[in-house]
C-alpha cells in the first residue's frame, strides 16, 4: 500500500493543478484510501465530498473549499449518473500512465532505504497547525458548514484512541463509513494506517450480506457503525460471520438498549457506545472493554457502563453547564455538554461568526444535553434541537421515542418524534411510524405508560411513512423528517 500511495502521489504531482486543496469523490474503498494518503504525501489537503448529497451541493462544497481539482472515477460517476465535475482527474488513469520502471524504483526505495530517508524523500513536511482536511456537515439548505480539522486535531484523536483501545497488528477494522464522514476519515482511514493494523473497506454499509462475508473472509476484529446499521445486521448477518469481532463501537446516534441487547444475544458481543461529532475530530468519549487481568475473577478496571457514552478520551475535558446561565453543574445533574481538548476543530471554513458562536471560554458547545456521574461516565439525554417547547415545558423527543419502542417491543428504528407548530401550545409532537400496525393499541399503551400528559402526542399526530430518510453517514436526516412531519400535520 505504501508503494502504491507513493506511485499515485508522483502521478498526481504531474496531473494536478496548483492549489493545496483537492476534492476526492470516491466511495470508501482501497482506491479512496490510497488517494487520501497520496494527496497527504504531496502536502495537499484531501476534501472528501459527500456523494450521497445532490450534484449541485457537492459542487458548491468543492467551490467553497477552494478545490481546483476533484479526484474521482469514471465508473463511479456513471453509477451516480453525474456529469464530469470541473477539474476532474480520474484515478483509473494512474495505472496506465505509470511505467514499470517507475514502479520498480519505488519498490526498491521502499525496501532499501531506512525509514527516516523514506520520510524525507516521499513526504512533504507539514506543520501540526496546518489543515488535514475540511469535512462538510450535513446541511439541509444551501452549502453546509466546512469543519476545518488540523493535523494536530486528527493526530490527537488517533493517539488517544490508540491508548485506550489497545490495538495490535493482528486487528482488522471493517471500514463501512464514508471518508466524508469524520468517523470514517479519522477512525477507519487514518487510525489503522498510523497504528499499524489492517482495514477492509466496503462502499455500502447497508449491504449486510457482503459485510458479513467480508468480516468472515478477512477475520475482522473491529466494527464501527451507527445503531441503524447494527440493527440491519441483526436481520441479515449470520452469527458465525461476525465470530472474529472482538469490539463493536456504535456512534453518531443514541444506542437504544433493545438494539444493544439484541446484538449481544445474536453475536455474543455487546456494542460499546461512543460519542463525538465532526467538530471534535470526531471522538470525545467512548466505552471500552473492562480490563480483566488473566486469572482474576472480576474486572480490575471498569471501562463500560451500559446506557452511557463512556468516559472522555485522554486529553479531552468534558463539562456540563446550565444551558441558560452557563454555571457548571455537579455529578448527576443534566445540562449542556461542553468539550475542550486538542481535538477541537480550528473553526468553520470562511465563517468566523459561526465559529465564535460555537465556542464558549475555549470549550466547544455541542448542543447535546447530558450528565456526568460520580465515576466520570457520561450519559446523553437529548439534543437541544430535539426538544419541543409545549405550553412552556421542554419535552424531549428521544424519551418519547424510547418509550414507543419499548411498548411496541421493537428493536429496529420504527418511530421518530418531531415537533410541529401548534397555535395553542406553541408546539406539538408528531410521531412518524415506519411499518407499524396497531396504532390505536399503541396509543392506548402510551397513555397508560406513566409519561407526563404533555409528552403524549395526540392520536391524530401518529403518521405512517414508507421509510426514514438517512444521511450518507447512516444518521437520520432530521431536516427531511421535519418536512415529512410538517406535511403530515398539515402545517
DSSP string for residues in 169-206: TT-EEEE-S-TTSHHIIIIIIIHHHHHT-EEEE-S-TT
Please name the residues in contact with 449: beta carbons below 8 A apart, sequence gap of 6 or more.
Answer: 403, 407
Q: Which helix (H) or strand (E) holds 418?
A: strand 415-422
- As a 3-state breakdown, the chain gives helix, strand, coil percent values, each rounded to 5, of 35, 25, 40
How high is the pLDDT of residue 83? 95
CA distance 34 to 31: 5
Residue 153 pLDDT: 97
Q: pTM score, two decimals? A: 0.82
The residues, any chain, with a CB within 8 Å of residue 462's CB and separated by 6 or more, are 431, 433, 439, 442, 443
pLDDT given at position 385:
65
Distance CA 185, CA 50 (A): 12
Residue with cell 478477512: 218
Residue ranges of the chain with per-residue pLDDT less than 70: 139-143, 297-299, 384-385, 392, 472-474, 488-491
Asked if 248 and 263 count as a contact pair (C-beta separation under 8 A), the reply is yes
Interval 205-252: pLDDT, tens? 989 999 999 999 999 999 999 888 998 999 899 999 999 999 999 987
Calpha distance 346→151 (Å, rounded): 10
Q: Where are the alpha helices (DSSP H) in 218-351?
A: 227-236, 257-267
pLDDT at position 140 is 41
Q: How far apart are CA 99 and CA 93, in angstroms?
A: 12
Amino acid at each position: 500500500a505504501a508503494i502504491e500511495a507513493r506511485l499515485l502521489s508522483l502521478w498526481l504531482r504531474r496531473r494536478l493543478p496548483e492549489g493545496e486543496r483537492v476534492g476526492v469523490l470516491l466511495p470508501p474503498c482501497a482506491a479512496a484510501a490510497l488517494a487520501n494518503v497520496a494527496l497527504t504525501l504531496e502536502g495537499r489537503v484531501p476534501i472528501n465530498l459527500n456523494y450521497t448529497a445532490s450534484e449541485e451541493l457537492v459542487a458548491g462544497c468543492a467551490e467553497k473549499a477552494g478545490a481546483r481539482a476533484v479526484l474521482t472515477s469514471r465508473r463511479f460517476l456513471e453509477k451516480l449518473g453525474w456529469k464530469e465535475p470541473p477539474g476532474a482527474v480520474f484515478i483509473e488513469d494512474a495505472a496506465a500512465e505509470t511505467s514499470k520502471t517507475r514502479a520498480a524504483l519505488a519498490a526498491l526505495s521502499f525496501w532499501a532505504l531506512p525509514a527516516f530517508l523514506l520520510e524525507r524523500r516521499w513526504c512533504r513536511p507539514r506543520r501540526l497547525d496546518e489543515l488535514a482536511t475540511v469535512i462538510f456537515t450535513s446541511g439541509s439548505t444551501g452549502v453546509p458548514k466546512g469543519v476545518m480539522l488540523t493535523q494536530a486535531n486528527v493526530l490527537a484523536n488517533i493517539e488517544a484512541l490508540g491508548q485506550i483501545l489497545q490495538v495490535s497488528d493482528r486487528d482488522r477494522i471493517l471500514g463501512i463509513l464514508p471518508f466524508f464522514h469524520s468517523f470514517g476519515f479519522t477512525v477507519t482511514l487514518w487510525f489503522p494506517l498510523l497504528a499499524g493494523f489492517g482495514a477492509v473497506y466496503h462502499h455500502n454499509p447497508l449491504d449486510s450480506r457482503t459485510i458479513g462475508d467480508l468480516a468472515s473472509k478477512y477475520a475482522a476484529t473491529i466494527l464501527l457503525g451507527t445503531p441503524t446499521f447494527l440493527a440491519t445486521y441483526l436481520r441479515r448477518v449470520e452469527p458465525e460471520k461476525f465470530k472474529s469481532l472482538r469490539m463493536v463501537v456504535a456512534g453518531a446516534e443514541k444506542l437504544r438498549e433493545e438494539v444493544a441487547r439484541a446484538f449481544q444475544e445474536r453475536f455474543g458481543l455487546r456494542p460499546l457506545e461512543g460519542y463525538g461529532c465532526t467538530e471534535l475530530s470526531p471522538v470525545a468519549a467512548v466505552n471500552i472493554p473492562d480490563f480483566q487481568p488473566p486469572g482474576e475473577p472480576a474486572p480490575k478496571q471498569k471501562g463500560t457502563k451500559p446506557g452511557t457514552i463512556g468516559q472522555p478520551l485522554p486529553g479531552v475535558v468534558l463539562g456540563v453547564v446550565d444551558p441558560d446561565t452557563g454555571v457548571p453543574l455537579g455529578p448527576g445533574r443534566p445540562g449542556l455538554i461542553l468539550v475542550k481538548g486538542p481535538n477541537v476543530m480550528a473553526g468553520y471554513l470562511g465563517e468566523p461568526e459561526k465559529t465564535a458562536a460555537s465556542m464558549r471560554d475555549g470549550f466547544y458547545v455541542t448542543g447535546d444535553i447530558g450528565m456526568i456521574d460520580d465515576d466520570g461516565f457520561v450519559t446523553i439525554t437529548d439534543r437541544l434541537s430535539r426538544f419541543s417547547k409545549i405550553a412552556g415545558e421542554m419535552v424531549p423527543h428521544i424519551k418519547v421515542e424510547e418509550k414507543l419502542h419499548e411498548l411496541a417491543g421493537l428493536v429496529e428504528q420504527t418511530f421518530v418524534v418531531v415537533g410541529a407548530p401548534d397555535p395553542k401550545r406553541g408546539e406539538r409532537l408528531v410521531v412518524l411510524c415506519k411499518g407499524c400496525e396497531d396504532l390505536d393499541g399503541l396509543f392506548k399503551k402510551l397513555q397508560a405508560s406513566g409519561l407526563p400528559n404533555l409528552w403524549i402526542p395526540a392520536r391524530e399526530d401518529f403518521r405512517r411513512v414508507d421509510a426514514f430518510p438517512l444521511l450518507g453517514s447512516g444518521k437520520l436526516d432530521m431536516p427531511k423528517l421535519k418536512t415529512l412531519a410538517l406535511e403530515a400535520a398539515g402545517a
